[in-house]
């Protein structure tokens, strides 16, 4: 997505680990519907894709998701602690510090060092959880299913960037417009979506 929207969707610098399960179940459901449609047309059981997850695989995915949710919550709570430490007594005291500039910089640097290290540890933990989750999901799938999952992840990633470019263009257009025209355009984007409104950008450029 555009930088501002993509930033809102990120979790500690990347994708939320539990998104892997939502992607797995969403793609599995879509491919299961395709399988059922093929069965009703007498075309057989279809491919060995994510629509054919076995009860054992679903059980393992559910167990893995529960563990991931717990650890994800722990990471988020630790991140909250690091963020809240910015307003601890030491930092508040520094805001009232009256001293030589060099001495003040030394004290601020000393206070911030531990907070930066704490932040780095949390981000490293989050990255490790993302990697472990992704690998664990791949391991519970068959090779063919893993390919389908990886393709779905890549497609989602690419589409998010594509939609982001469209959103950026719409944001630029809206910035050029004032009053009721801007309100109407915002309503148009909300109703039909940014992809359908990209042409409006070209129209504004031609007429503006």
pLDDT tens by residue, 146-175? 999 999 988 887 877 676 665 555 555 545
Question: How far apart are the C-alpha atoms of 186 and 166, rounded to whole Å?
Answer: 14
The answer to whether position 16 is within a domain reads yes
The answer to whether position 22 is within a domain reads yes
* pLDDT value at 37 more than 60: yes
The answer to whether position 191 is within a domain reads no
30, 32, 34, 36: CA torsion to nearest 10:
-150
The count of structural domains within the chain is 1
pLDDT tens by residue, 181-192? 444 444 444 444
Question: What is the mean pLDDT of the segment spanning 42-67?
Answer: 85
pLDDT at residue 11 in the model? 81
The answer to whether position 169 is within a domain reads no
Predicted TM-score of the model (pTM): 0.66
> What is the pLDDT confidence band of residue 130, given thresholds at 50, 70 and 90?
very high
The answer to whether position 161 is within a domain reads no
Question: How far apart are the C-alpha atoms of 114 and 90, rounded to whole Å?
Answer: 12
Domain that holds residue 90: 3-156
Question: How far apart are the C-alpha atoms of 89 and 17, rounded to whole Å?
Answer: 34
The answer to whether position 192 is within a domain reads no
């Amino acid at each position: 997505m555009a930088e501002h929207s993509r930033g809102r969707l990120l979790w500690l610098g990347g994708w939320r680990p539990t998104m892997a399960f939502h992607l797995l179940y969403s793609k599995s459901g879509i491919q299961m519907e395709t399988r059922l449609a093929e069965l009703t047309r007498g075309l057989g059981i279809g491919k060995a894709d994510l629509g054919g997850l076995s009860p054992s695989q679903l059980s393992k995915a559910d167990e893995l998701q529960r563990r991931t949710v717990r650890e994800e919550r722990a990471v988020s709570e630790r991140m909250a602690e690091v963020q809240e430490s910015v307003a601890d007594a030491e930092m508040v005291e520094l805001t009232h510090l009256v001293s030589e500039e060099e001495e003040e910089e030394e004290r601020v640097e000393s206070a911030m060092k531990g907070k930066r290290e704490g932040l780095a540890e949390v981000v490293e933990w989050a990255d490790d959880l993302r990697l472990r989750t992704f690998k664990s999901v791949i391991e519970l799938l068959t090779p063919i299913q893993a390919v389908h999952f990886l393709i779905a992840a890549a497609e989602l990633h690419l589409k998010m960037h594509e939609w982001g470019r469209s959103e950026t263009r719409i944001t630029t257009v809206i910035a050029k417009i004032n009053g009721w025209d801007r309100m109407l355009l915002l309503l148009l984007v909300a109703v039909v979506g940014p992809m359908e409104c990209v042409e409006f950008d070209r129209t504004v450029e031609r007429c503006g």
